[in-house]
Amino acid sequence: MTMSIQLQFDEKRRKAITQCSRCGFCRAVCPIFDLTKRPITNAHGKIILLKEVMEGKLPATEEVAKAMLRCTACMNCTVNCPSGVDPQEIVKAARRDMVDIGFDNLFKAMGEVVEKYGNIYGKEKRRDWGHRKERAPYLLFLGCVGAYREEESVKETLRLLDILKVEYTMVDEVCCSGVLEDVGYKIKEDLARRNIQEIQKTGANTLITTCPYCYRVFKDHPSYKDLGLEVKHITQFLKDFDFHVKTDKKVTYHDPCDLGRHAGIYDEPRQIILKIAPNFVEPRRTRDNAMCCGAGGGFRGAFAKESVKIARNRLSQIIEDTGAEILLTECPSCLHNFRNAKRQKQKIEIYNLTEFLAKLYGERTLGEKEAA
């Protein structure tokens, strides 16, 4: 299907697109290109498509719209681009444009689900996580992926906060809905308002998120500008705590794209890990060059199989580089994708950092009981 309407490119967009020097350096880091070896899936390929659309050489087709969905918004190309291009910004803008001129994508349905059920999975019922206080200084926000897909991990995170005697409460949260903006649609203002209201009712002064994506939305999105709370990712919140547990196991860490490249939070998780795991090794691709797990930017939603394959590649890479027994991260999406990807014969255990901490505390109490 070819639409007669053409995309409009303002000066800023034109400049961003023509800034690409076609050096191809993004091939080295794009997780989707790494998997497919097809140039159209690379940052470079997507930008060239848009350049041709912009120059009127190529019609804006369904296939162009589809190509734009092949991006995890991981920003690994951005930090490696010699020409200073931020391809995922260009791609996200193009997704919105394609929707505007009539190429709706599968996330339209997700938007409707989110609107109706308040979560991305269309679940009617939410598990009762307890921890309801009228008032508390801290508020913990789980986000959809943790609450509906990694429940065991979330349970441990809550237990850790209890062990550390953090005075926190939880609310009837709904999806922050920020991700809709990345896939061509608009944030749901009424959901944002609901969250703000619920959160403010608690009188908390700090909002703690486990999900790095929620963190970014609460912190930066204009729809949450009236939130009036300090927003912290849980690794920022926990970095100065003393932990009275340790592990001798070989531990490594995967930087979630949303936490690392998008939010600049690299040191805090490491500060925590170094307190509890002296045998810590970095993967070769780490910090701002950490390879994406394949889950972000709507990619898992649109291309589930490929997404898991990327996680598999990243996991094998980490195992090969480090030989670690424990892989830590702090993102429900990364955790979920890695756990789905892990093959049975792979011995590595995968946890969110907070979950792992709770487990260490658990083992310690167990040890103490046995000793007594």
Based on the shown chain and the rule CB under 8 A, indicate whether residue 45 belongs to the binding site for another protein: yes
Q: C-alpha 81: how far from its chain's center?
A: 21
By CB under 8 A, name the one of 5, 6, 8, 21 that touches another protein.
21
By CB under 6 A, name the one of 5, 8, 22, 106 that touches ligand SF4.
22
Based on the shown chain and the rule CB under 8 A, indicate whether residue 63 belongs to the binding site for another protein: yes
What value does the CA radius of gyration of the chain take, rounded to a whole number of Å?
21
Based on the shown chain and the rule CB under 8 A, indicate whether residue 48 belongs to the binding site for another protein: yes
Of another protein, ligand SF4, none, which one does residue 88 interact with (CB within 5 to 8 Å by kind)? ligand SF4
Based on the shown chain and the rule CB under 6 A, indicate whether residue 64 belongs to the binding site for ligand SF4: no
Based on the shown chain and the rule CB under 8 A, indicate whether residue 38 belongs to the binding site for another protein: yes
Residue 276: half-sphere exposure toward Cβ, Cα within 13 Å:
28
Residue carrying structure tokens 């930017």: 297
For residues 84 to 123, the per-residue mask of contacts with ligand SF4, x marking binding by CB under 6 A and - elsewhere, is -x-xx-----------------------------------
Based on the shown chain and the rule CB under 6 A, indicate whether residue 179 belongs to the binding site for ligand SF4: no
44 vs 342, which CB is nearer to another protein?
Answer: 44
25 vs 243, which CB is nearer to another protein?
Answer: 25
53 vs 73, which CB is nearer to another protein?
Answer: 53
Count of residues in contact with ligand SF4, rule CB under 6 A: 27
Of another protein, ligand SF4, none, which one does residue 260 interact with (CB within 5 to 8 Å by kind)? none
Determine contact, residues 352/210, Cβ cutoff 8 Å: yes
Of the ranges 17-25, 166-174, 205-213, 325-333, which one interacts with ligand SF4 (CB under 6 A)? 17-25
By CB under 8 A, name the one of 15, 186, 225, 246 that touches another protein.
15
Of another protein, ligand SF4, none, which one does residue 74 interact with (CB within 5 to 8 Å by kind)? ligand SF4
Q: C-alpha 65: how far from its chain's center?
A: 22
* CA-to-CA separations, 13 to 16, 87, 252, 262, in angstroms, rounded: 5, 11, 39, 20
Of the ranges 29-37, 173-181, 229-237, 356-364, which one interacts with ligand SF4 (CB under 6 A)? 29-37
Determine contact, residues 197/235, Cβ cutoff 8 Å: no
In the complex, the smallest distance separating the C-beta of residue 26 from another protein, rounded to whole angstroms, is 8
Q: Which residues bind ligand SF4 (CB under 6 A)?
A: 20-26, 29-32, 43-44, 47, 71-77, 81, 83, 85, 87-88, 292
Q: Which residues bind another protein (CB under 8 A)?
A: 15, 18-19, 21-25, 27-28, 37-40, 42, 44-45, 48-49, 52, 58, 61, 63-64, 67, 80, 82-84
